[in-house]
Amino acid sequence: MALRFLLCAEDLLSATLARDLCDRVVHERARSDWLRALWAPEARDAQRTWTGLRPDVWWADRGSVEREARARRLRPHVRLRETGRLYSPRGVASEAFLALRVAATLDPTPALVVLSGDTDGETDPSRLRGAGVALAAEGLAVVLAEPCREAEAWVLAGFVPKNSIEIARLKALHRELGFDPTEAPERLMSDRTGDPRDAKRVLRALLSGGEPCSALDERGRQCWLDTPLELLASRGEAAGLGAFLRAVEAVLLPRLGDAVTPA
């Protein structure tokens, strides 16, 4: 029976990045030959199933988590042992808290829970997803995918020009911004109208010369599917990408039985 991986994400791009990169880590970084073979693109669907909170969807958004929590009468707060007072997490920590509480009620229990979404520049640890996970304390295997500031930062970390047109686009952006957005994607901003550092604008400029496009189009997908994981991690370290890849290795691989096969 395929393992159930529960994915709760901010949007489709965040969900797709988390799913695809998680699968790549297993296929490319597992120490065991047999596990890498099982996670080859043509075989991995028989090993794991990405799901939302319903069997007919492969990821869950915030609204579905909140609806399921209400349906199951799960409270959005916890009583602190230290003070005895009720405490409700804030920001995306609240989303993570509810997602973990819902996940703990599912049957079968997910083999892995992945929570994915932007930080939008939030720096208060108590308002980030990790705080919600710690507060829920459900004992599940959890991996956080938190692009800083925007999910587009992870796509940009994997952009490698393929032709003279793309080389020219990158050089023009480098001159305009004063830095290379593929080398320092964390310096881009979150959806500020008119700001040249807007991550979505910069990504469009690279992928299509500024014409309407989606990071989920073929050229965008190549940025995280084809670029070596080592390059993605180094460029995206300050944007949270390196931490995500390491977390998948540390949390998921041991649970899949990864080990070096004795000679």
Residue 215: what pLDDT? 97
Cβ neighbours, 10 Å, residue 105 = 12
- First CA to last CA distance, the chain: 29
Distance (Å, rounded) from C-alpha 129 to C-alpha 127?
7
Task: Starting at the earlier edge strand, list the strands of the sheet with 112-116.
Answer: 48-51, 3-9, 112-116, 142-145
Query: What pTM did the predictor assign?
Result: 0.95
Residue 261: what pLDDT? 47
For the chain, the 3-state helix, strand and coil shares in percent, each to the nearest 5, are 50, 10, 40
Per-residue pLDDT tens listing for the chain (263 residues): 899 999 999 999 999 999 999 999 999 999 999 999 999 999 999 999 999 998 789 999 999 999 999 999 999 999 888 888 999 999 999 999 999 999 999 999 999 999 999 998 899 999 999 999 999 988 999 999 999 999 999 999 999 999 999 999 999 999 999 999 999 999 998 766 678 999 999 999 999 999 999 999 999 999 999 999 999 999 999 999 999 999 999 999 999 999 754 43
Residue 263: what pLDDT? 38
Residue 235: what pLDDT? 98
Residues 6-35 pLDDT 10s: 999 999 999 999 999 999 999 999 999 999
User: Which residue's structure tokens are 């004063």?
Assistant: 178
Q: Please give the single-letter amino acid code of residue 230.
A: E
Token readout for 187 is: 């310096």
* Rg of the chain taking only CA atoms, in angstroms: 19
Distance (Å, rounded) from C-alpha 60 to C-alpha 83?
34
Residue 262: what pLDDT? 40
> Which are the contacts of 97, defined by CB distance < 8 A and separation ≥ 6?
76, 78, 89, 132, 133, 135, 136
Under DSSP, the state recorded for 251 is I
Q: Where are the domains of the chain?
A: 3-148+240-255, 152-223
Token readout for 179 is: 């830095």
Give which of 222, 235, 239, 123 is closest to 188, Cα–Cα.
239
